[in-house]
Amino acid sequence: MSVNKNPVSRFDGIRGMLPREQMDAAAAKLRDVYSVKPDASFFQREFGYYSLERWAKEGMPAGHAEFAKMAGFDPDAKFLLKGFNFSNQIFLPAFPETVIEDRGEYEVVQDSIGRHKLCFKGQRSGFMPTYLDHAVKDFDTWRNDCKWRMDPSNPERYSEIPEQAKIAEAQARKGKFIFYRLTGGYMYLRSIIGAENLLYMFYDNPALIHECMESWFLLADAVTSKYQRYVSIDEIFMAEDITYNHGSFISPQMFAEFLSPYYKQLLDNVRKRQLDPDRHLFYQLDTDGFCVPVIPLYRELGMDVMSPFEVASGCDVTEIGRQFPWLVMIGGVDKRVLAKGPAAIDAFVDKVFPVMKKRGGYIPTCDHGVPPEVSFADWLHYRKRCLEF
């Protein structure tokens, strides 16, 4: 009787977690952080940048690889699955991006999700525009102009999945995080209805909110299910921005009625479909502002990773880390301090980083994109200090 001396292991990164000794080094390092391992080395990365134009004049290398090497970044440990990762990808087909009105130095433009925005002429990104109008005002505008653009049976929505899945399979076999990012329900509602109008609509037209959320759920569930035929998903990331500098935009009761049921069903479905039945599904929430009041709400759904802990809004990662010892924390570096020079940077680093390294479960990044007030030399000083940990 012949015996297969090299049986295929189910611990291939897809149907079972790859053994640590076989993992890509960056992936193994990141998994140590996500396990909240005390004294684990910081994973080295950055949130984003509004400073690149200035830095290009101050000696920043032109190539990405050279820049990453100078900064001491770790290689990518995640593979992002494409879907409706950002608000501007919710609708397919998108609204046509057109100029609605010329106002001299400014222009009113319609964006891909039907918002009318007042922008500097010829500059539609890199700053906060003034939002003048949103696509959804009532059931008629929702059903006639928007709902059909979220049809989960539209084959165009999935055209890239076979190619993406092949890459994802190869990355999973290295132990990389397979990562799905989507626009969270609150951000989605705010983007199509408007921040102020949404607050009224929770009271005035709750049935419309539920119908909008049902479409959100059906689309998110359909996209993730297609990918889960090929790989196990390690992390769901929701861009939410549900908090401002004093807490949550909506009450716990509103959260329980309008968001939680849809989130719970989506996350339950993803967990049930995993090719690896033992795979832990990390759930990351991204919200600016003072996030502490919503941590227990999302924790009930399984949230265990959070970003970016905006210091100006009262987020102190050392205190929040003590309060929620299970929480993986990304961010918490005061963007304002980075603009004050090496002495201020050193004082901040020496106060925060030793505490967070001892705790574990922390990735330091700027608490939003690095602003243009930060010089390249000062940022490199900050990066040098990060590498000490």
> How much of the chain, in percent, has pLDDT values that exceed 70?
98
Q: Give 85's pLDDT tier (boundaries 50, 70, 90).
A: confident
Give me the pLDDT at residue 1, please.
45
379 contacts: CB under 8 Å, gap ≥ 6:
51, 55, 338, 370
Q: Residue 7 pLDDT more than 60? A: no
pLDDT tens for 285-320 read 999 999 999 999 999 999 999 999 999 999 999 999
Helical segments of 105-251, H only: 139-141, 161-172, 185-193, 195-204, 206-227
DSSP of 358-377, one letter per residue? HH--EEEEESSSBPTTS-HH
Q: How far apart (Å, rounded) are the C-alpha atoms in residues 67 and 15?
A: 36
Structure tokens at 71: 């900064």
Q: What 3 state SS string does 106-122 have? A: EEEEECCCCCEEEEECC
| The pLDDT of residue 248 | 97
| Mean pLDDT (whole number) for 272-292 | 97
Tell me the per-residue pLDDT of 21-62, one tens digit each, with 9 for 90 and over.
999 999 999 999 999 999 999 999 999 999 999 999 999 999
Task: Specify whether the backbone of 87 is left (phi greater than 0), alpha (psi in -120 to 50) or beta.
Answer: alpha
- Pairing label, strands 78-81, 362-366: unpaired
Q: What is the pLDDT of residue 84?
A: 76
Mean pLDDT (the chain) is: 94
pLDDT at 123: 75
Is the confidence at residue 112, as pLDDT, over 90? yes
pLDDT at 128 over 50: yes
Range 175-181 average pLDDT: 96
**What pLDDT band is residue 126 in, cutting at 50, 70 and 90?**
low
Mean pLDDT of 233-249: 96
- Name the band, by pLDDT with cuts 50, 70 and 90, for residue 227: very high
Mean pLDDT score, 8-16: 86
Indicate the pTM of the whole model: 0.93
Assess contact for 109 and 98: CB atoms under 8 A.
yes
> Nearest 5°: phi and psi at 290?
-85, 105
Residues linked to residue 102 through DSSP beta bridges, in sequence order:
107
pLDDT value at residue 3: 46
